[in-house]
């Protein structure tokens, strides 16, 4: 005989199952309807598919200049739609064995703002010419972002963080005149080796994990700058120093990062090494000390010590903060570029990525893009060692990138592979080219 408790138990289970099925049905019905509505409404819009996920949204519709509209997504299922218009790659996440193959008429687009440490194959023309549209720090890129770390001109003029020279001189009782703060200690440019030599002649406070000789107060933790490159507390800390060592991790035309802009914004003198074209972007001719202008580190040190002891000369480097209007910013290229929009991007009021997506969308609508280009969009010097007795091992990284570029070019443009290739297949062709001195 079945108890009333057992019957009630079975009834409850049946009700729960029915309720679950109903909820699931309504969920699927609702979202399928929503999805279909979106698909039908925007069916004619070109689709830009981030093949290497880089955006937060799964799918969005962008409206550019109230004229060009596109669907932007990281959902690869959209790759089967007839209105797929471009594959978009984020350079630092590029994966040789995960590509949308076979190649067809759909353009490949790349956004790569980083140095060759992240993507060495892109230094070479074979790597660059795989893409139909490029966005890099180079002014010769289709979508150039040489000022990707400088939002607007007012940041250079603003005195929010500026510490008067009299106060900076007073702080020399506890601070060195020069600040160095780095956490990446192995770079193609060998910046730590440079600082090791400079510190023999000039007092330097070195924070971070590289050549550390002072502890950074917790309030100014460099971790805060991971979310905000120009964190207020961190900028106030920088501003206390008369000089800031600003050395990029690689030497590339137009590759200028926050390492230069931070001290300029804070009101300190950058001691800069990096982009050979940096003078094209400085606010005026007296705003930074360029390491490349000195024959030796000792000569540079003599100049730093001279400025440190001469308030008149030091003040000349503060024209962008303290000078009259006609001398603050004399660089016409810098002014013209930032007048276009934030970060020097045409009509931009946001960060570079949304503006880049709109540039791609517009280019697709107008069919205004080219694949083969004469000018390099990623011109970076091969590393050399400052110590003639040793070799800079980063040269192998450059060579590795050259072989990667030639291998990928062969597989995509010569062999025209029709399906994704494995890491082993890629390595086999790489080894063949390398062993035959074809890299």
pLDDT in tens, 116-164: 988 999 999 999 999 999 999 999 999 999 999 999 999 999 999 999 9
pLDDT top residue among 18 and 327 = 327
223 plus 332 within the same structural domain: yes
Assigned token pair, 424: 């082993």
Domain presence at residue 26: no
Domain presence at residue 70: yes
List, in sequence order, every residue forming a beta bridge with 50; answer none if it has no partner: 88
Q: Minimal CA–CA distance to 403: which of 103, 123, 95, 100?
A: 123
159 plus 288 within the same structural domain: yes
Range of the domain at 338: 154-344
Identify the three-state secondary structure at position 48.
strand
pLDDT the model gives residue 147: 97
Residue carrying structure tokens 């995509």: 412
Distance CA 71, CA 63 (A): 9
The confidence band for 31, taking pLDDT boundaries of 50, 70 and 90, is very low
Domain presence at residue 350: no
258 plus 309 within the same structural domain: yes
200 plus 317 within the same structural domain: yes
Domain presence at residue 29: no
Cα-Cα-Cα-Cα dihedral sign, residues 162, 166, 169, 170: negative
* pLDDT beyond 50 at 36: no
Domain presence at residue 376: yes
Percent of the chain with pLDDT over 90: 75
Mean of pLDDT over the chain: 88
83 plus 166 within the same structural domain: no
Domain presence at residue 118: yes
302 plus 163 within the same structural domain: yes
Domain presence at residue 232: yes
243 plus 203 within the same structural domain: yes
Number of domains in the chain: 2
164 plus 51 within the same structural domain: no
pLDDT the model gives residue 260: 98
Q: Tell me the CATH number at 285.
A: 3.40.50.11660
Domain presence at residue 32: no
* pLDDT beyond 60 at 7: no
382 plus 418 within the same structural domain: yes
95 plus 173 within the same structural domain: no
CB 267 within 8 A of CB 318: yes
178 plus 203 within the same structural domain: yes
* pLDDT beyond 70 at 410: yes
392 plus 313 within the same structural domain: no
Instruction: Indicate the pTM of the whole model.
Output: 0.86
């Amino acid at each position: 005989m079945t108890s009333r408790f057992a019957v009630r138990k079975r009834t409850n289970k049946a009700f729960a199952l029915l309720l679950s099925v109903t909820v699931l049905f309504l969920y699927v019905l609702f979202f399928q309807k929503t999805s279909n509505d979106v698909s039908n409404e925007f069916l004619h819009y070109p689709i830009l598919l981030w093949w290497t996920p880089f955006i937060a949204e799964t799918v969005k519709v962008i409206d550019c200049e109230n004229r060009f509209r596109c669907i932007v997504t990281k959902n690869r299922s959209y790759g089967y739609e007839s209105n797929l218009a471009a594959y978009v790659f984020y350079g630092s996440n590029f994966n040789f064995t995960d590509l949308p193959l076979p190649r067809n008429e759909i353009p490949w687009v790349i956004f790569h703002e980083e140095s060759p440490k992240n993507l060495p194959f892109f230094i070479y023309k074979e790597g660059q010419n795989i893409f139909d549209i490029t966005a890099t720090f180079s002014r010769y890129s289709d979508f150039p972002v040489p000022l990707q770390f400088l939002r607007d001109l007012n940041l250079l003029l603003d005195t929010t963080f500026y510490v008067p020279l009299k106060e900076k001189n007073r702080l020399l009782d506890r601070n060195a005149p020069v600040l160095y703060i780095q956490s990446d200690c192995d770079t193609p440019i060998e910046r730590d080796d440079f600082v090791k030599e400079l510190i023999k002649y000039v007092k330097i406070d070195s924070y971070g994990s590289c050549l550390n000789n002072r502890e950074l107060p917790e309030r100014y933790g460099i971790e805060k700058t991971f979310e905000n490159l120009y964190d207020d507390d961190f900028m106030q800390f920088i501003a206390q120093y008369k000089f800031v060592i600003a050395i990029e991790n690689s030497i590339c035309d137009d590759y200028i990062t926050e390492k230069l802009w931070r001290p300029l914004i804070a009101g300190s003198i950058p001691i800069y090494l990096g982009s050979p074209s940096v003078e094209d972007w400085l606010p005026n001719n007296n705003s930074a000390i360029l390491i490349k202008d000195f024959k030796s580190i000792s000569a540079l040190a003599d100049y730093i010590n001279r400025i440190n002891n001469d308030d008149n000369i030091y003040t000349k480097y503060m024209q962008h903060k303290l000078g009259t209007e006609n001398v603050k910013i004399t660089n016409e290229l810098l002014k013209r570029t930032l007048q276009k929009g934030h970060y020097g991007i045409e009509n931009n009021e946001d960060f570079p990525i949304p503006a880049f997506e709109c540039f791609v969308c517009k280019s697709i609508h107008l069919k205004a893009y080219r694949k083969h280009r004469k000018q390099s969009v990623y011109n970076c010097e091969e590393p050399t060692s400052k110590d003639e007795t040793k070799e800079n091992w980063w040269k192998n990284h450059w060579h590795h990138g050259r072989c990667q570029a030639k291998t990928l070019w062969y597989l995509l443009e010569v062999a025209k592979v029709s399906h994704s290739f494995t890491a082993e297949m890629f390595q086999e062709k790489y080894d063949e080219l390398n062993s035959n001195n074809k890299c």
